[in-house]
Structure 1
């Protein structure tokens, strides 16, 4: 029994060793195959990325002073009433364009008109008395004092008439200048008080834009300098005007001075109170090196571009990532202060496919436009 048991144990041990060798060999073969596959993938060259390109070019930019402005009407008021009374007639519609002197609202004036008739009757009597006394004075019947008394009574009636007519005129509210009316604030039969707003009136053409500039630019800003303006209400559209007034005082708190420009607004697109981005074109010019804005790779530790250089084979390019220092931005272009030389070619789109020292193929068939003053077709 002991011999047969020993033989059985040896066979079991040999079988276990054989299984271990078999499975170990299979596992080692698998690991070796995976290693060789990863090594092949690591050494496999990546396909060349297709990008568009642009050449870093020098341009002459006119110096611009940027500011934030507010549009203001050349004339803009809340039309109010000087008298107290009940609204008897409304002669306008909200949003209507009116001319200077146009009657807008009438207040009830029956007592005032009745008093005017009384004064007109007194005027007739005062004139007759004055004419009668003057005729008698010529014949020497009356004294000079009697003539002066009747003349004074006539003048008083005439003055009272003028006061009464002015009182009635105050109950007729007219447009002080030509412009566009706002939304009506009163209704028929409403009892209004002196100073109460009837409607707003704005003269929209031309239109002012008020903005502030730092005091260091005071010497370079003069009258008639050209100004360009953009608003969020009409994106992509540029409005042009010129400086018409410069405040002679510099604000001691902000160290800024106020500037006013006048712009043509024949289409009445610009409205008072709008926010505006303003650029003043001063006479100074400077030479700058620019690339398209789309060529920049933005990151927290610095901006970079991919410079494209001819590869040794000559049929493709190699992308070299280079950090740059940027300056002013205008439209689709950005100024490069450091990192790129004039004439070097940079990738302008497809940057997500690029890696440092990676192969690149340039295809400029659908190259994005890049100008300092873009004008989109749908603007």
Structure 2
């Protein structure tokens, strides 16, 4: 009896399954069920618009000065005068330090007197050489003596000039490490001088972007010291070598720093702009991938969902740029796509 009742139920089960399948695959927007209109499926949608988008590469860089030196003296002596304070802003040619130079000034004065007398002797021998052959050897010796004194005088003048230390370029001085009366030589760091009117930032870019890198590309930088400010610069150097360990290329960006906000040694968050373009942009969650193709559901004028094949241009930060398959102003469904099919009646919520 149980065996026979099981056979009798089998056709009934098949009919029920067919009915359920027909109900599930029947578009919600077609026909009526039990004399009542099928309700629209609630979904969320995004209006397609053409937007400007920027493709960037993010990195971290360390700031350094455009020019930076340790200020030292070429000569060794005691400091007679100091003309700067800690952290002073100086111009190229400003006097910074004066060493004691009285000895050099006296040497120059003595050499000038001696040279004048030797030149007089040289001129006398030149006159004698015109009539006396024996005076020619003396003339050559005197000429060599004059040349030697002239060179000695020029060397002393150079030494005297080096007794004064000048700023070699515009910049910001650091801490003063010496005082009047201090003895300095060419290894004594008097202070530091940094040209920070331009700040350079070195950062690494993955090797795969090498072909896209160009001088002059725009670079944005942010610092934790100024969280509300974005600094804008340009790529000024691209290293010709690839780092074998990191498979990246070092890029340098230069930033105008007239307000001196950026300082050497700062850690900066860098965004290198690789491309800027206008495109139709939709949320990435609206894309339905199937094998090697991509689709979206749009809402037509009758409030029905219609499936459309689209071509993806690029992806970035949860958004997708579409270059084929959509038009500006259309609405693409972003949530509820699993509940609908092409032709389903939908109602946009939110």
Mark yes or no: TM-score above 0.5: yes
Counterpart selection for 1:162 from 140, 151, 154: 154
Residue 239, structure 1, aligned to residue 231, structure 2 = yes
Partner of 1:319: none
Residue 146, structure 1, aligned to residue 133, structure 2 = no
Deviations 1:210-253 (A, max 9, x none): 11111111111111111111111111211112111100001112
- Going by fraction, where is strand more abundant, 1 or 2? 2
Shift of 1:115: 2.4
Residue 109, structure 1, aligned to residue 110, structure 2 = no
Partner of 1:91: 83
Asked whether the 8 Å contact 1:243–1:259 carries over to 2, the reply is: yes
Asked whether the 8 Å contact 2:52–2:276 carries over to 1, the reply is: no
Deviations 1:251-277 (A, max 9, x none): 112222111111222222212211111
Shift of 1:140: 3.7
Partner of 2:53: 61
Asked whether the 8 Å contact 2:45–2:333 carries over to 1, the reply is: no
Shift of 1:336: 8.8
- Give the whole-Å Cα distance in 2 for the aligned partners of 1:101 and 1:284: 44
Counterpart selection for 2:203 from 190, 195, 211: 211
Partner of 2:113: 121
Deviations 1:97-147 (A, max 9, x none): 222122110112233333222222221221111121112223447532222
Partner of 2:174: 182
Asked whether the 8 Å contact 1:73–1:204 carries over to 2, the reply is: yes
Asked whether the 8 Å contact 1:67–1:279 carries over to 2, the reply is: yes
- Give the whole-Å Cα distance in 1 for the aligned partners of 2:263 and 2:57: 23
- Secondary structure (helix, strand or coil) at the match of 1:228 reads strand
- Secondary structure (helix, strand or coil) at the match of 1:112 reads helix
- Higher alpha-carbon Rg: 1
Q: 1:328 to 1:231 in 2, by over 3 A?
A: farther
Q: Unmatched 5+ residue regions in structure 1?
A: 1-52, 292-326, 346-360, 363-379
Asked whether the 8 Å contact 2:46–2:282 carries over to 1, the reply is: no
- Give the whole-Å Cα distance in 2 for the aligned partners of 1:111 and 1:245: 48
RMSD over aligned Cα atoms: 2.9
Deviations 1:144-178 (A, max 9, x none): 22222111111100101111122222221111111
Asked whether the 8 Å contact 1:61–1:287 carries over to 2, the reply is: no
Q: Which sits farther off after the overlay, 181-190 or 138-147?
A: 138-147
Shift of 1:342: 4.8
- Secondary structure (helix, strand or coil) at the match of 1:218 reads helix
Shift of 1:66: 0.6
